[in-house]
Every structure is written in C-alpha cells, then in structure tokens.
Structure 1
Amino acid sequence: MYTSFTKMDSPVQIPFKSFIQLKPEETTALYLQIVFEFIKAIQIGLLPEGTKLPGTRILCKVLEVNRNTLIKAFQDLELQGWIEILPNKGTFILSEKQQKNKADFSSDESNNMRKTNEGFTFKRSTILENPKETSDLPYQFNDGLPDLRLVQSDVLARLYVSKLKNQKTTKTWEQVQAQSHLNFKTQFSNFLNLTRGIRISTSNLLTTNSHEISLYLVTKLLISPGDKVVVASPGYYISNMTLSDSGAQVITIPVDKDGIITEQLKQICDEHQIRILYLTSNYHYPTTTSLSAKKRMEVLELANRYGFVIIEDDYDFDFHYDNNPVLPLAALDSNERVVYIGSFGRSLPAGFGYGFIAAPADFIKELEKHQNILEPGIDVIKEQVLTDWIKEGEVHRLSKKNKKIYKERRDYFVVLLKEKLNGKIKFQVPLRGLAIWVEWLDDFNLIKLQKQCAINGLFLPKTVLYQTKNLTATRLGFGHFDSSEMENAVTILRQSLDAIL
C-alpha cells in the first residue's frame, strides 16, 4: 500500500498541551475527550501524517491523565484508523488509513450522540471545530487577508441605496429576482471568461454567498462516505475539514517548488480508486507555490486516464502581480473533469463578495437544487450594484488600484524579512496572494515563539504555524499591514525569536 509519510523520531518536542485541551469536570468521559482532541488536531494539520507519538508512559505524564485512560483512547483512535500502533516501533499518525464511518463506531460511551441537560440528543462533530483564534494584541499576523481600510464602502453604500430607492416596476418580485440574477450571471460569466480564460455561459455558473459554501455544495454532491480524496500536504485546513466531514478518506501527497508530486499521484491512482483530487493550483495553500505548466498537463491527463474529478480551488486569483497570470486548469480542461470554485470581490466590503462554481451545466443544475434549500433568497439590490460595477469596468479599476498597493506592500515586506531576519529564514517571493511562506532555519518550537510574540504584543494564530520533524514554517500575511505596522510586526518577530533561542 502506498504511504505518504516519513516516520518521525522526536515526538517529545510536540507541544501537546497547547492543543489537547482536556476538561475533567465535563460529563464526557476523559478518554473520549482525548480521542476527540487528537482527531481535531489531525484534521487541522497540527499532527501531520507520519508524526510519531510519545510512548503512553511519557504522554500520560504530559497530559496529566491515567495511563489506562490514554491506552483506551489510543485503542479507539486505532480502531477508527487515525493512528497506527507498530510493535517495537511506536505509534504513528495515519490519517490516510481507511477510517470507520462514525455511525459504525458503536459503543455506549463513544457514540457521537450526546445527551444534554435539556433532555435531547444530537450529533457532535469531532471534525468541524473552529480552529480560528482572536486577539486584542496591537499587531496581528494572519494567513493572507486584505486590508479593510482600502474598501470603498461609501461608494458601494451610495449605489446600494440608490438602487433601493429606484425599485419601481410592475413586475412581480419573483420576476425581478429572476431577471436581476440572470443579468448578474451574464456579466459575471463574461468577467470570468475575460480574466481567467475559461469558456463558460450562464448555464455553467453558480454563484454563492461565500467560497466556503461553494466547496460545501460541491463536496455534498461529489463525495459519498468512503470515497478516496487526494489532497496536498501541507494543505488548507478548512477544505480538509470539509472533505473529511463529508465522509471522504483523505490521502495526502507532498508538494515541491512546482506543486504536487505527480509521480506519487499516479502511484496512488494505480493502487486506489480515487474519486477526487483537490487542488489550490494557482496559489497553493499554505506554501504559495504555483502548479507548473508541465504538471498541469500531467494532472489533466491522469484525471482522464483514471476517471477522477479535479476540484480546483482558486481562492485568491484577485491578487496576482505579474502581467501574465497563470490560468486555471479549468481553462485547459477539454474533457469536463474540472470543477472550478473560487472567490470574487475579496477587496469589497463584507457581504458584497461572492463564491462561485464553474462546471458542466448538468452538474450546476443539480447544485442549484441544494442551494435553493441552503440559500433560498437572492439579494437583488446587491446583484444589481455588482452587475453595474462589472459592466462599467469599476471592478477592473478597483482591482488594478488594489493590486498596485498590495504589490508595494509585498515588496516592502520582502525587504523587511531579508533585513531583520537575515540568516534565520528562507522564502520565495510569491507572484500572487497576500502571504509569504517562511521556513525557519533554526531548530525551535513554534508554540514557544507564539507565546513570546504575544508577550511582546504580536499575535501569531496557530493556523499560520506549521511544524513537523523536518519542517518549521509560518505563513505570514502582509496585506492588512501598512509600512509602519509591518516594520513593528517584523521587529517584534525577530526580538521574540532571539528571546527563545
């Protein structure tokens, strides 16, 4: 069987107490809390495949639990396929191993139906825990978000109010909704054809209220429990959670400077029936690399040969700084193997952005049935405002203006990293996006760095920290900083690094 991990030999360095949060006072059995916390850590990437866990004698002291309790938790984790216990070798994370459907995992205590004080039962997800954190510290890194201060809220507000006041028509509300939505889809499909080189009509397009809803709808239709889905590692924690929650068996493959290792993808396809390949091809999350032209053709050829579907997630196309942006796989797909999802309007105020799906017409038609339950209403006024903005070229103008600002910020952030962290990091300057993937050259614990940064007034959320035996890396977003904020944030980062070393 193909295995995509390397056994790791230094488990005691893993800061388990920082992400295994046990609450003995709760009614849930302590061993089950351990099971749920480990599954959550695996799903969001804190315990990558191949990670070697400490022996139970060591780990029970670290977690301050009885050894028999920990052994029972490990037995459950192995039974579900999350870990592999090898005699005389150790215990290893094994998230690609076939996992039992949660419904088949039967035990009075381990059943996910938990009774509440109100007297009814409901399902609890061990996968969809929100890993995001908030902080009041003056300086905060994120994984690559735009600057809300650059949003033209006043312009959009005036247009919105103007449209709202001028709603005078003899048509029924249903007719107005249908006509406005068709006009919006027409302009939006033209916009995608022009900017991303894909060839679609309105029948190939579904717009949603967010990128996350788009991914949820696609996985709902494409994945049945037990289907094997290939993702890159390291990968996007939100998509991994969505895929796992759908019942997929997630298989990971590594990435290099040119994207996923296609030779290993072929090896997996030879050994398994793969349903889906999930890719962030233009701007890989988190490493920011782009899938090379050669590998793009290889991936499409493999999809045709082995019959799997490619979910291409182009979450950050809006921010590219070269004159010849890399076109998505969907622009090259002649065999309808690609479902292309993305975001639109990330520089617009909250509520004005969109998610979208571009795919074969019959698949879009089926998606609409599910969307009608999840998102039954259409914001007619918002769609009319954005239709006018696209038609009049305002979206292009705003995009061009913002890209100039963000390119200047990227370039200055690169200067600061080279100046203040010289000899401590290595990185490649990304051609798109609002974050830089930084690999640290010293051997240290990222959680210690996080805590020291917090003492000095800088917040590093766990979602930007990546650490395994052979990798210590951080995804540092720069888009939300102005120059002085960048200087202060990077200065604190260096001071904190010096303090823990």
Structure 2
Amino acid sequence: MWKPDRDSSQPLYQQIADDIERRISYGEFPPGSQLPSERKLAEQLRVNRSTVVLAYSELRALGIIESRSGSGTRVSRHKWGATPKHTPNWHRYVEGGSFLPNPLFLRRIREALQQDKTLIDFASGELGADLSPVKEINTIIDKNYTEYLGYDNPQGFAPLREALVAYLSQYRGIHTTESSILITSGSQQSLYLITQCLLTPGDAVAIEDPSYCYSLPMFQSAGLRLFRLPVDHKGVRSEDVYSLYKKHRIKMVFINPNFQNPTGTFLDEERRKQLLDVASELGLPIVEDDPFSLTAYDGSPPRPLKSMDSIGSVLYIGSFSKIAASGLRVGWMVAPHTVVERLADARQQMDFGLSVVPQQVAAQFLNSSYFQPHLSNLRMQLLYKRDLLIEALQKELPDLIRFTVPQGGLHLWCKVIPEVNDSKLLEEAIRRGVIFVPGSVYGSNSGYVRITFARPKAEQIVPGIAKFAASLRAVLG
C-alpha cells in the first residue's frame, strides 16, 4: 500500500490528495464509488485524522469528491459540472457473481497483516521462514536449470509424479502409480476441483465441526449443502456419517484426520476402520486432506485412511505447504485414473497446468539428501515452539484458557473461559500488536481461538502471548 513520504517537502495532506486523485484517474475509484472514511484512511496511512480531513477538503474543493451526511465520501459523478460518461457499475459486478468472498474475519486479518508488518502473527497457517528449507531449495535452484519452460502435462510434471510415487510409499504407506496422481496448486486447488467437477449444486456433503473447510466459501459458491460431523478427542464417528447419509443423502465426506485443523486431534485407529466400512457399505467417497501428518513430533505419523483403503473410496490430498514451503504452491491428489483425467481436463481449462519450475524444484527436493534431515529438524523446531507457547499460556492465563496438547501440526485450539466476543477480542489484540484466528471462522461457537505457532519466530511467542493475555483481560474487564 502507498504511504506518504514524511521526508518530502510536500505537505502530507497534499501527497494524500494527489495519490487519491491519481487512483481516481486510473479507474481504481470510478465515479460514484465509496472512499474510505477519514478515520480508516488515517489508520491505514498512519497519519492524524486531521491530515486526511485536509486532503479530502482539497479534493472536494476541486469537485473531485463529494461528501454527504450518513453516506460517507464518494467520487463525484459530475466533476466540474461535466456530464458523466457511462462508467460500468462496478459495485454491482463486485456484489454479483457466484464466487463468494472470504469470511469477514479472514479479510480483517489479512488487512491488518498488510497494514502492520510488526504484528506478531499467530494467525497465518504456514511455516515461518526459519522452518522452511530455504537454503536447501536455493541450492537446488542454483544447481539445476530447466531448458523447457512451456506448457506441461496438465496432470503434472512427470518426474514429480514419479518422485511422489516413491514418497507416498515410503512416508505414507500409500501404493499408487504416477497415472493416478494429479499435481495441483496446493491442497486448496484440489478441493476446488473436487467441488466444481465431481459435485453438483444442491448436493449435500459432510464436513467436520469445527473444520477448516467451513472457512472456505468455495463450498457455498459451488451451491453445496454442508452438514457437520462433530469432532471429539478421537475425531469423527462413523455413526454420525451414517446418520447424515440416511437423513440428507450426503454425496461426499471431507475429513482432515491427522492433527486436524483447527483442533489438532487425530482420528482414532478403530474409528478409521469403522469410517472406511461405512463408506464401503454406502458407496460414499471420502476426501482425505492430509497436510500435517509428517509433522508428528515423535516421528511416527498416524496412518492415512488411504493406506487402509482397499476398494478405492478415498481421494487423498497432500501438499508441500505445511512441511516445506507454501510459496512453491505444489500439492497433489491421489485418485482413480478416471477422476484424475476429469480433473486434469478441468484444470487445463483454468490455467493450462502449474508452472514447471516449482514442480521441478519439488521433485528434486523429494529425491535429495536434504528431505529427511529437513523433516527431522522441522519436527524438533515445531515441538520447541509448541512447548514455548503452552508454557507462556499457562503462565499468563492459567484460569482463562483450556486446551488439549497436540502431538503434531501447527496449531493450538483453545477455549476461552468465560466466553468472549470474537470481534472485540480480535480488534483489541490487533491494537496491542498480536493477531490470531477466532474459532467462529471454523464453524465453532464464540469463545474459541486458533493460535498457530509455526509462523512467528521463537523469540516472539512469549511476548506475543503476553499481548494476547492483556487483550483478553481488557475485553473481559
């Protein structure tokens, strides 16, 4: 975001007025569009509100903007009395369309992180730079060069699919072939392709409660009806799946069984067998999203459902985002070949396939001597950060937070006692310099929070929790 130059001889208000006028001329703010309030713009630019008041006054005097009581400030439709041309009603277009925006809390979190780079980030569900194999990947990039930079097979770079066959067999006990693997731009694209290509508007699907899937408007955008499967300390129950099938004829089950996001639980071994039995009996597909399993702190990841699937009920999704580098945007899906062909065809219509460069890097990283040591270091560092977080919470909020200690993953799922208003707590935390994700984003009731300990540096965790604790006490009064 543009910021005024405080070292410039030009007054701040004039810089702001010039920037807004420039953005209006570029069409970023068409005639009639709403401008930020004086208070909000002042916060974004980190200036006094009076500076923005002066900037807006300057623009009003030029006839560029107009303000009305109760309606805020808008770009003038009649600049200098000229008859306006027929500008498209972009507001109507933005409000239209079938693809829904992200939940309000997630948009607020993104906005806050963009505006203030000093926030201690317990919200972003990805590895920090200190946990990613940055040096190793840079070494791979420096030593290798691809002569081909054109479109590749929409199913994915063949050497990467070959590397994944070996990886899935060694690390996940899944035996497959490269023709049954689809490379995607992370797990989220896999989910998007499934909802768009294998399901129909009006179909009923089951998701965990709480669930990361609940935070993804792509399900509602696809016109799907969502029904919840309660998650307890052993995960979901097969009888709940059976009940939803009988009542609502669900077409598919979406599950994150290993160190589930956001609760950190993993599905009990016996319940895994029962779930597969029910799926087999009903002919019901299961989508298994498995991004966290290799983070198991003891080095013994729980088995995926796919490794126990003998009849092909499970569509298995994985990615590099939670174990290596989210910026590579490399994920994969293991599915029957007919499903892979269908989704690869749809994917080709979308983007002609993922860039070959990150796929080549991912393939070489999987095949390199760097991969296993990286996993061992990742587990050790995540365990260290988890323990720092728990110790800080127990010190700062011994009677106000309840949680179950996770054995893998990146998140701690916390219940606030007594219940607190999500919005007030988030805004107070942002004001004090720390950010998290309210539990209601995942379909939970108010009073839960997800604290991610993989993104902040280790030295930020204790002061970050101190800020969070001060925010919580301020809101509770």
- TM-score bin (small chain): 0.7 to 0.9
1:467 shift after superposition = 8.4
Structure 2 match to 1:6: none
For residue 279 of structure 2, what is the amino acid of its counterpart?
Answer: A
TM alignment of 1:92-491, pairs within 5 A: 116-117=88-89, 123-125=96-98, 127-129=100-102, 131-132=106-107, 133-134=109-110, 135=112, 136=116, 137-142=118-123, 144-164=125-145, 167=147, 181-237=157-213, 240-349=216-325, 351-462=327-438, 472-491=447-466
Distance 1:206 1:419, change over 3 A: same
CA deviations over 1:337-395 (Å, ceiling 9, x no partner): 11011212545445424111001122112222112222314534433333232223322
Contact 1:300 1:333 in 2 (8 A): yes
Distance 1:310 1:487, change over 3 A: same
Distance 1:380 1:482, change over 3 A: closer
1:478 shift after superposition = 0.8
Question: 1:316 and 1:269 mapped to 2: Cα distance?
Answer: 28
For residue 389 of structure 1, what is the amino acid of its counterpart?
Answer: F
Q: How many equivalent residue pairs?
A: 387
Distance 1:277 1:465, change over 3 A: closer
Contact 1:204 1:364 in 2 (8 A): yes
Larger displacement relative to structure 2 (217-226 or 338-347): 338-347
Larger displacement relative to structure 2 (352-361 or 327-336): 352-361
CA deviations over 1:98-137 (Å, ceiling 9, x no partner): xxxxxxxxxxxxxxxxx94379968424633363323215
Contact 1:146 1:479 in 2 (8 A): yes
SS of match in other structure, 2:192:
helix
Structure 2 match to 1:495: 470
1:462 shift after superposition = 4.5
Distance 1:431 1:26, change over 3 A: farther
SS of match in other structure, 2:408:
coil
1:27 shift after superposition = 9.5
SS of match in other structure, 2:100:
coil
Larger displacement relative to structure 2 (371-380 or 262-271): 371-380
1:464 shift after superposition = 7.2
Instruction: Give identity over the alignment, percent.
Output: 24
TM-score by length of 2: 0.73
SS of match in other structure, 2:462:
helix
Distance 1:177 1:270, change over 3 A: closer
For residue 380 of structure 2, what is the amino acid of its counterpart?
Answer: K
Contact 1:330 1:340 in 2 (8 A): yes
For residue 183 of structure 1, what is the amino acid of its counterpart?
Answer: P
Distance 1:242 1:377, change over 3 A: closer
Question: 1:116 and 1:175 mapped to 2: Cα distance?
Answer: 35
SS of match in other structure, 2:349:
helix
For residue 142 of structure 1, what is the amino acid of its counterpart?
Answer: A
SS of match in other structure, 1:223:
coil
Larger radius of gyration: 2
For residue 469 of structure 2, what is the amino acid of its counterpart?
Answer: R
**Unpaired stretches in structure 2, ≥5 consecutive residues:** 1-30, 35-69, 71-86
CA deviations over 1:439-496 (Å, ceiling 9, x no partner): 1121332322222222322223457767866x62111011122333111111112222
For residue 246 of structure 1, what is the amino acid of its counterpart?
Answer: A
For residue 305 of structure 1, what is the amino acid of its counterpart?
Answer: E
Distance 1:245 1:197, change over 3 A: same
Larger displacement relative to structure 2 (485-494 or 344-353): 344-353
Contact 2:287 2:316 in 1 (8 A): yes
CA deviations over 1:128-148 (Å, ceiling 9, x no partner): 336332321532321532112
Distance 1:267 1:216, change over 3 A: same
For residue 139 of structure 1, what is the amino acid of its counterpart?
Answer: I
Contact 1:148 1:347 in 2 (8 A): no
Question: 2:433 and 2:465 mapped to 1: Cα distance?
Answer: 12
CA deviations over 1:184-204 (Å, ceiling 9, x no partner): 211112101111111111011
Question: 1:201 and 1:395 mapped to 2: Cα distance?
Answer: 21
Question: 2:434 and 2:305 mapped to 1: Cα distance?
Answer: 38
**Unpaired stretches in structure 1, ≥5 consecutive residues:** 1-24, 29-63, 65-114
Question: 1:426 and 1:363 mapped to 2: Cα distance?
Answer: 43
